[in-house]
Amino acid sequence: MLLGVIADDFTGASDIANTLAKGYGGVRGFATTQFLGVPRENARAECEAGVVALKTRSIPPEEAIAQSLEALAWLRAQGCRQIVFKYCSTFDSTPQGNIGPVGEALAAALGAKGVVVCPAFPGAGRTLYRGNLFVGDVPLNESSLRDHPLNPMTDSDIRRWLRQQAKQKVGSVNWDIVRKSGEALRAALHAAGEQGETLVVVDAISDEDLLTIGAAVKGAPLLTGGSGIALGLAANFASERSLSSEDTGFAGMTGREAVLAGSCSQATLSQIDHHLKAHPGMAIDVEQVMDGSLQVTTVVDFVLAHGGEAPLVYSSNNPQAVRKLQQEYGRETIADKLDGFFGSVASSLVANCVERLVVAGGETSGAVVSALDLDALTIGPEIAPGVPILTNPYPLALALKSGNFGQTDFFERALGMMAGREVGDTAR
């Protein structure tokens, strides 16, 4: 294995695994495997890039550090030459969050300084300029992410976020240096490291900037960012890779299907509204989950009764309703209960021969995959930017969608592609 990725949630892991497997600009992608948690065994010899998916985004920093260092140890044992710490392209984290602490811990373990921090993913509308993160045309703190139920983003300046989290100096490199060349950026990162800056926020407003970052970090032990940070990495290992990647052709699965949605992002809410116009849906009453009156069997029976109709089960709600519930029950308590409920529903659905499962939301996806106790997933065709079909020999096809990703008709599109049907292009 040449490249190792430590991802802080399961949807983000499939996002960057998709980027690595696709390649970019005519450069062949890596033979990529997504591992669900730290593997118990070594990777197969043909694996060139391994993505370890953790569920550490919203847990205490000390726990996130411990799990990330465990993943690092496994990846280094596989022979990885470079490590990527992958977090969300909207930098989902609180001032007490763990992106800074985990980044510093990995840097210390690898003896790295001047480590790139770049959540930008222009293909998904995330750009970074003068250290400020934009979602489309608006600063992060003016987007719908300001109402995120777990990690509300109230400041667009990633430098300020990191300085609240990190123990060491945080540096920055502006776009006027990035646009010059990879050599100029490499020199700036070296200078930052010499000044004692461990984490360095680097601007990027286009894919070309991400390719420049890729060239600048050739040989660096560590870099961090969103999935876009992987665009320029394959070229750095061209001379060390096999001539062809493993064939991961996807023939399609036509068995039972379901959509589970726990994300409260605006994109997912729009996707739910669109899907319900033509497909059956069941809204999860959070209060019934909290008091135990809603049974898993009730949800499973609904899905099985609507086989072939792309049934949707969702707990997603608008920010005002979410805040009211959080005030009544507590944010973490609700999250834990819903995660456990969705995990139990998914396990029962798969036991009842559901072969196609679409999951919306990072926390929900993590709960589902953990409950299914999967070890590794193969990267299949791309449904939308950052969202591939993932397969496991159950047989099972999964789509793990970050809340903000995907087209309005994503759910129907994903289920159709899982069945092997052509459903048009994957433009976002």
Q: Which of 20, 193, 12 is nearest to 119 (CA)?
A: 12
Residues 117 and 221 in one domain: yes
Mean pLDDT for the chain? 91
b/e 149-168 (16+ beta carbons within 10 angstroms → b): bbbebebbbbbebbbebbeb
- pTM over cut 0.95: no
The domain tally of the chain equals 2
Task: Judge whether 395 and 355 are in contact, CB under 8 Å.
Answer: yes
Residues 212 and 300 in one domain: no
The pLDDT of residue 200 is: 98
Task: Judge whether 180 and 210 are in contact, CB under 8 Å.
Answer: no
Last residue of a domain, one of 210, 240, 270: 240
The pLDDT of residue 386 is: 83
- Residue 33 pLDDT class (50, 70, 90 cuts): very high
Residues 68 and 165 in one domain: yes
Per-residue pLDDT tens digits for 347-395: 999 999 999 999 999 889 989 999 998 889 989 899 998 899 999 877 8
String of DSSP letters for 163-228: HHH-SSEEEEE-HHHHTT-HHHHHHHHHHHHHTTEEEEEE-B-SHHHHHHHHHHTTT-SEEEESGG
The pLDDT of residue 145 is: 73
130 within some domain: yes
Residues 150 and 177 in one domain: yes
In the predicted structure, residue 249 carries a pLDDT above the cut 70:
no
428 within some domain: no
Query: How much is the average pLDDT of 121-140?
Result: 92
156: tokens are: 């667009």
Helix ranges (DSSP H) in 292-420? 296-305, 319-329, 331-351, 362-372, 410-418
Q: Which of 74, 82, 81 is nearest to 37 (CA)?
A: 74
Residues 233 and 376 in one domain: no
Per the structure, the complete domain to which residue 208 belongs is given by 3-240
The pLDDT of residue 428 is: 38
Q: Which helix (H) or strand (E) holds 248?
A: none
Q: Among 40-54, 208-222, 291-305, 373-387, whose mean pLDDT is lowest?
A: 373-387
Greatest mean pLDDT among 1-15, 65-79, 356-370 lies in 65-79
Per-residue pLDDT tens digits for 166-179: 999 999 999 999 99
Amino acid at 300: V
134 within some domain: yes
